[in-house]
Amino acid sequence: MPPSFRIGLGHDTHRLEPGDGLVLGGVTIGHDRRAVGHSDADVLLHAITDAILGAAALGDIGEMFPDTDPANRGRDSAEMLRAAAARVGEAGWRIENLDCVIFAQRPKILPHRETIRQRVAAVLGIDVAAIWLKAKTGEGVGPIGRQEAIAAECVALLTRDA
């Protein structure tokens, strides 16, 4: 019998405010702004977490790690992604690949892309070749373009033997 496939889509957006850097994909990037959130506000890892949980029909990041729980204040998003990936694995699913996009006017993501891909691969225990990352600016338009917000999206493909 052929393997089963599932696709999940994850999205996250955070406000930006003056600060001393962004956490993206578990990597701290020097920047004059920071993302505002209950945890470490890592939009990329939050989008990946939602994508894999959604593909496996196992809820979302807000269900697993509610912002009403004080234990999640300042929480490392890599820890949340590891826990979600473990839940997905326990349900019999494997992550085949992730295709991700970060939406930010600044900073430029390309110089950090390989470091971020390596970090995400290490968190998930998968081959870096299974992870791709792109970036898009806001072209000076809307909250992304005005550097008021940062967003990320991820599509995840999961498989399991039928």
- Per-domain residue ranges of the chain: 4-160
Q: Which residue has the higher pLDDT, 122 or 3?
A: 122
What are the backbone dihedrals phi and psi of residue 67, each rounded to the nearest 5 degrees, phi first?
-75, -5
pLDDT at 1: 61
Give the pairing type, strands 131-136 and 94-103. parallel
The reported pTM is 0.96
Q: What CATH class has 4-160?
A: alpha beta
Residue 113 contacts residue 27 (beta carbons within 8 Å):
no
DSSP 78-95: HHHHHHHHHHHHHTT-EE
**pLDDT band at residue 2 using 50, 70 and 90 as cut-offs:** low
47-87 per-position pLDDT tens digit: 999 999 999 999 999 999 998 988 888 889 999 999 999 99
12-37 per-position pLDDT tens digit: 999 999 999 999 999 999 999 999 99
108-134 per-position pLDDT tens digit: 999 999 999 999 999 999 999 999 999
